[in-house]
Structure 1
Amino acid sequence: MIHEVDEALRTMFRTDALTGGQVVVVFDAPTRDWAAKVNAPTVNLYLYDIREDMRRRERGLLNEYDEQGTVVARRRPPRYFKLSYLITAWTRRPEDEHRLLSSLLSCLLRYEALPADQLTGTLGEIGVSVPMTVALPPPEDRSFADVWSALGGELKPSLDLVVSVPVTESPVYPASPPVGEEGVQLGFGEMPPDQSSAGAPTQRMPNGTHLPVYGTRRGGIASRVAEERPE
């Protein structure tokens, strides 16, 4: 799932924002050692955070149908997870980096979700939108300065991209057979010998008669209560 989002972003940038340029798209952690080895114009999409998008969580079950339109199974709705990318540009001059960031920002603002024709694998099969946001204020529990401090590098102009990706992995619950036009049919038959009234415990009624207590097993609690009840 995550690698499919990576590939969709790489394809979108190469075919839209970076056309005609010799710019490399990578997903490495932009540490100080990594930055020292960059020798070509590079766009880095560093995945630094993964957490569930609780606003999109749904309750209940979704039906699965066969070719006749009959419900054959039920499963939980997709759960969305936010993938947060730190996007940076790396060139020899700051002006070129700003130009790259401007192209990337313009590209991202044209889309509210990843282009459907660029989704592959599971994301392409389920046919669900994959929304994304760019350059929104970070949550209160973290800041971009903290991210750069954790990486051991110097603060650098960047774009924060958040992709909400659906995950459909969940248990499948088979549905019971459908009720036909004939409805529910009931039948009556003789009880097995070990469950007949002759073998069942009895209870004395006010008029002095003894009636069998059904729904109990000989030796069970209800059976012992009935047998131990004084006449």
Structure 2
Amino acid sequence: MSLRVVLVDDHRMVRVGVRSELADDLVVVGEAADVPSAVATVHEQRPDVVLLDVHLPGGEGGGGAEVLRQCSDLLGDVRFLALSVSDAAEDVVSVIRAGARGYVTKAIAGSDLSDAIRRVAGGDAVFSPRLAGFVLDAFGTAATDVAVADDELDRLSAREQEVMRLIARGFTYREVASELFISIKTVETHVSAVLRKLQLSSRHELTRWAAVRRLL
């Protein structure tokens, strides 16, 4: 089955090159070169995956992270994979905190990029070598203490914990329903209960909560 992809990069030659390198099962359905056009294109196309450059014009200094913030209503249904020339820790951490599912550099081979897109679409987190360490360092706080995590998890039923982990990994409600053999309405009910019990306000906050506690 083909995956629908949107390319976001302010250099046309980069977009042309990436498009030419993608495998046949990855269909580019839109392109954008700045923050406003990226936000508009992603909302219009609602692709499976957005390939997102970190540094983009048109935002208030936010670049790719600003695109993610303005597309927060789509996180989970649309997955974001950062593709950048930068391998700076602050760039990696900023877009992951904003909701990206992975980060690869432009040195990546075309076949590896295609595989990364498929993996992100499937719910995995994907990073170029050594970049994952930045994320672990950023989220590796005292909150990872096992006793704290266990205490918070005790607030959730066994089924709520199952739903929580899948939602935090980026599964859509429909995918969770299929995975657990329950209705979408039941998934919605469980997610509402999880957010209420953990005092969180969104799926994005839930993903960060689970990542900090190494529950993904």
TM-score, normalised via structure 2 length: 0.25
Please identify which structure carries the higher helix content. Answer: 2
Larger radius of gyration: 1
Greater RCO (Cα-Cα under 8 Å, separation 6 or more): 1
Please identify which structure carries the higher strand content. Answer: 1
